[in-house]
């Protein structure tokens, strides 16, 4: 990744993606957001990098804590209910956008509609609509 900066993981879940991000980006700080921690102990960040609470509130106050804007965000915070997912994404989309650097990448399991986010090609084997990758062009 050619954009410097920390990484945001929205939704720790069982910690599998966080663990992959640590392997892929060992020299980057990774800040994780979730409403509660339920991951395997080996896949939980330290207290500085684990941000627990309501995602809207924690994203609103995150920039100072993460020390600036982020290069990459991985967003996996769906509720399993289409209507609730759409409401949540429309609420947090501008918050995520405000935390990202120009040229940064947002990967998500939900489709975000944000001005200046340019859809990127999906990796081979990933069906359209299953996953979304956007680069921020500002």
- pLDDT (tens digit, 9 = 90+) per residue, 84-98? 888 999 999 999 999
Query: What is the pLDDT of the chain when averaged over all its residues?
Result: 93
pTM of the model: 0.93
Q: What is the pLDDT of residues 26-79, one digit of tens each?
A: 999 999 999 999 899 999 999 999 999 999 999 999 998 999 999 999 999 877
DSSP string computed for 46-102:
-TTTEEES-HHHHHHTHHHHHTS-EEEEEE----S-HHHHHHHHHHHHHHHHHTEEE
**Domain locations in the chain as residue ranges:** 7-136
82: confidence class by pLDDT, cuts 50, 70, 90: confident
pLDDT at 18: 95
> Looking at residue 129, what is its pLDDT?
87
Q: Would you state the pLDDT for residue 27?
A: 95
The CATH classification number of 7-136 equals: 3.40.50.150
CA gap 79, 51 in Å, rounded: 19
């Amino acid at each position: 990744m050619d954009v410097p900066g920390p990484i945001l993981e929205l939704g720790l879940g069982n910690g599998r993606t966080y663990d992959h991000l640590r392997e892929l980006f060992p020299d980057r700080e990774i800040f994780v957001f979730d409403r509660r921690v339920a991951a395997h102990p080996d896949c939980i960040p330290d207290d500085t990098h684990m941000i627990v609470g309501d995602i809207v509130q924690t994203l609103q106050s995150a920039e100072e804590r993460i020390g600036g804007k982020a290069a990459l965000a991985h967003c996996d915070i769906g509720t399993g209910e289409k209507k609730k997912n759409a409401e949540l994404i429309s609420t947090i989309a501008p918050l995520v956008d405000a935390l990202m650097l120009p040229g940064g990448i947002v990967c998500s399991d939900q489709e975000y509609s944000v001005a200046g986010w340019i859809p990127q090609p999906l990796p081979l084997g990933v069906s359209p609509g299953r996953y979304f990758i956007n680069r921020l062009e500002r």
